[in-house]
């Protein structure tokens, strides 16, 4: 009977370019390994949290200030470097002197990125 039994044919495995999905085997050992890894990672996370809590309880005020100080200075210095390089590039471009006299000193970011500003 055609309708009864296994409908999967082996010709799919022998066809080039067609890959069959392998059935994933779940054994007791693999499940045990997964569960113990989760417990270990939770334990490490709890230990990190306890160390951080202990640090904030026992550290001096100056240590806490230096640890929690924002790192915005790095961003600000990078932005100023970029804007300074844009200003330097603007000076190297040959511009007629008549236009320079009529223009007010406009920041380079307004010249290079006018769509970012609403007038």
| Nearest to 90, CA basis, from 63, 69, 110 | 110
pLDDT for the residue 108: 78
Give the predicted TM-score (pTM) of the model. 0.31
φ, ψ (nearest 5 deg) of residue 100: -65, -40
* Token pair 């989760």 in the structure block, residue: 38
Mean pLDDT of the chain: 74
Mean pLDDT lowest among 26-30, 54-58, 98-102, 115-119: 98-102
Structure confidence by residue, pLDDT tens digits, 12-34 = 556 666 666 666 778 888 888 88
Q: So where are the chain's domains?
A: 24-68, 72-116
Q: How far apart are CA 52 and CA 61, in angstroms?
A: 15
């Amino acid at each position: 009977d055609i309708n009864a039994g296994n409908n999967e044919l082996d010709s799919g495995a022998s066809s080039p370019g067609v890959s069959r999905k392998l059935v994933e085997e779940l054994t007791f050992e693999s499940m045990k390994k997964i569960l113990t890894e989760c417990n270990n990672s939770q334990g490490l996370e709890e230990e990190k949290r306890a160390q951080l809590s202990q640090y904030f309880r026992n550290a001096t005020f100056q240590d806490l200030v230096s640890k929690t100080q924002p790192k915005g200075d790095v961003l600000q210095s990078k932005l100023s470097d970029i804007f300074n390089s844009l200003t330097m590039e603007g000076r190297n471009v040959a511009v007629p002197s008549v236009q320079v006299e009529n223009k007010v000193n406009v920041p380079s970011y307004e010249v290079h990125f006018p769509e970012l500003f609403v007038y």
